[in-house]
Amino acid sequence: MKQTFLLAIAIAFLPLFGCEAGNNEINNTDQPETENKLTEVSTDAGQVIHLTKAEFLEKVMNYEKNPDKWVFEGDKPCIIDFYADWCQPCKKAAPVLEELAQEYAGKIIVYKIDTQVERELAGAFGISSIPAFLWVPMEGKPQMSNGIARTPEETKEMFKQIIDDLLL
């Protein structure tokens, strides 16, 4: 009887210590300081740019205004990396994307979206595994890919091939 009672109490308190418990503060994207810093970055600077939902709607696609069709809002092709801080393959892809942002500066833009913070964006694109990459050309529909290659070098070559074939 004692064990059943302790088990019931443990189960009752389990949601307090699960993955969702610590994310309530993180999901608050109404932080003006962060948004101001993000919008100050030039898109030609060759840097990876972190996006909030508001910035995504402005710079990539306003799916609230155009829910039934893709309307690209950007002025350069872009890559959008859907990632999470805890994801090891995401961590391996990050330096490759930083190199590509510098290498293709002025030609493409590399954006990142933290799926733990911007859950609505991740849900809007059906992101179920990460890393996931949305390749957005100036004309036509974007394409989604998941995962990376075995090595950073292979990943970079794979990404360069997609950039050259689809985006440029």
Active site annotation includes 19 = no
Spatial contact of 122 and 113, defined as CB atoms under 8 Å apart:
yes
Of residues 48, 60, 79, 90, which has the active-site annotation?
Answer: 90
Spatial contact of 117 and 27, defined as CB atoms under 8 Å apart:
yes
Active site annotation includes 87 = yes
Distance, in Å, from the CA atom of 76 to the CA atom of 54, rounded to the nearest integer, reads: 18
Alpha-carbon distances of 4 from 12, 14, 16, 27, rounded to whole Å: 12, 15, 20, 36
Of residues 38, 57, 84, 87, which has the active-site annotation?
Answer: 87
Catalytic residues: 87, 90
